[in-house]
A and B are shown apart, each in its own frame.
Chain A
Amino acid sequence: MREFSYRRASGVREALTLVAEHDDARYLGGGTNLVDLMKHGVETPGRLVDVRRLPLGGVRETPDGGLAIGATTTNSDAAAHPEVRRRYPALSQAVLAGASGQLRNMATVGGNLLQRTRCGYFADLSQPCNKRAPGSGCAAITGAHHNHAVLGWTGHCAATHPSDMAVPLAAFEAVVRYETLEGPGEIPLADFYLPVGDRPDLETALPPGALITEIVLPPVAAARRSRYRKVRERASYAFATVSVAVALDVHDGFVRDARIALGGVASRPWRARTAEEVLRDAPATPDRFRGAAEAELATADPLPGNAYKVTLARNLIEAVLTELAERDGR
């Protein structure tokens, strides 16, 4: 690990300045991913600007009936917040499905969005990786890619985004708010993560030096009956193989609103808009659910070693839709 200086910012503006004035500065939140990658030598900041104690924590209700979650809110506090649990249970479940109790106590929701992939080649400096060293190549596409992307990847990178939290955020059309020295800005989650293209190292649409301040959740009636289901290689404390966040509003046997997003299948949380379209105003039946899942995955393009993820994603969408419909029916 390279030597670095450390500054604790007392305000957002000071934090922005401390990062802007240094060539190679990074914000430090909970550190659960950044410190990990610094130990691997993947991240080599010359200065860390600690934003963990900025007054950006907490969950507040927005006038329109949504919620705003401050960027430095810990994952634990976000998941335990009564209004998150009441209005967006899938979000609480997704956060609780991530990492461990200890890590959730440290990690911030702002940092959670900016997690880097857990592709083994990304953390191994002796291997080529376009995400870590642009232009060096991708060892995973021809190598071990059992847990890599089946949607939206390119020949430059097939890594997946590891966040659980971002999956329901995508389904609920959250908006990421940030500050820069030039002023505030916001990006819908749908646009927050950039397509892989030929620059997989460029992951988000955040302007350089921007600091995430909060995540805003619009009111979503269906979200009160939402569910996050995560499948992984052991029962807990593992990244997703495939996960799904689903919100479903059924009225008189017909789907009024459906929100679906997948995790573990792409470089970003995958909003399943095709499936949602198939379901809108359709009868809430297992056949329709399966059809919707199959429509969404029609464009899936698995690598030789991960075709199972397509089946798994299809089955998961169908299973969770069915579960929610049955729960509503009771």
Chain B
Amino acid sequence: MTDDFSSEITLEVNDVTHRLRVDNRRTLLDALREDVGHTGPKKGCDHGQCGACTVLADGRRVVSCLTLAVAAEGARVTTVEGLSGEGGLRPIQEAFVRLDGFQCGFCTPGQLCSAVGALAEHAAGWPSAATADVSPDGPTTELDAAEVRERMSGNLCRCGAYPSIVRAVLETAARAAVTG
């Protein structure tokens, strides 16, 4: 059997199924940007060191720059373009705009996808490095600013929108808690 350097893959991106032939070297980030045409995910470092390329893959946040497209075969991917539905912006997006959770906007798609993922992780009871006691037997750690900062630390922002981002994430979490 001869080895091929490219592969046929299927990706479900923002609820749309795409069949693509990709160079095996192509990352999920480049496949989303160059093949699918979703340029929301950004290439800030291409080495998993900034978080600007963060997307949700099967509901979990990942850096798409270190994910090979071919290895993502069959994944259900949500990019920033897929966060808002027909009803308009998601609460986290609306909060980013209202509280000015960005300046240049380049890290924003990654911050937003990461925030969605981080909130789900917290809701699932996952501890973080900011959690004083990781024991599963105590009460679930409340999501405070320190928890949000730690959980969002994989998303660098050079403009320094961090405080506004933290406020937006906390507000969104509180709203979700009220509305269920």
Contact = CB atoms under 8 A, between A and B. Distances in A.
Q: So, do A and B actually touch in the complex, CB under 8 Å?
A: yes
A36 B128 CA distance: 25
Contact of A100 (B67, B71, B127, B153): B153
A280 interface: no
A39 B124 CA distance: 34
26 contacts: A3-B24, A4-B24, A6-B24, A8-B73, A28-B71, A31-B66, A31-B71, A32-B63, A35-B27, A35-B67, A35-B68, A39-B46, A48-B68, A52-B71, A76-B121, A79-B126, A80-B124, A86-B136, A89-B135, A92-B127, A100-B48, A100-B155, A101-B128, A101-B151, A105-B117, A106-B63
3 pairs of A and B residues whose beta carbons are closest in the complex: A100-B154, A5-B3, A236-B153
Interface string A192-228: 0000000000000000000000000000000000000
Given A89-B135, A102-B54, A4 B25 contact: yes
A50 interface: yes
A174 interface: no
A6 B61 contact: no
Contact of B67 (A6, A46, A76, A106): A106
B5 to A, nearest CB: 4
Q: Is the interface of A mostly helix, strand, loop or mixed?
A: mixed
A59 to B, nearest CB: 12
Interface of B: 3-5, 7, 23-25, 27, 46-48, 51, 54, 60-63, 66-68, 70-71, 73, 114, 117-118, 121, 124-129, 131, 133-137, 149-156
A47 B117 CA distance: 32
Contacts of A321: none
B179 to A, nearest CB: 24
Interface residues of A, number: 40
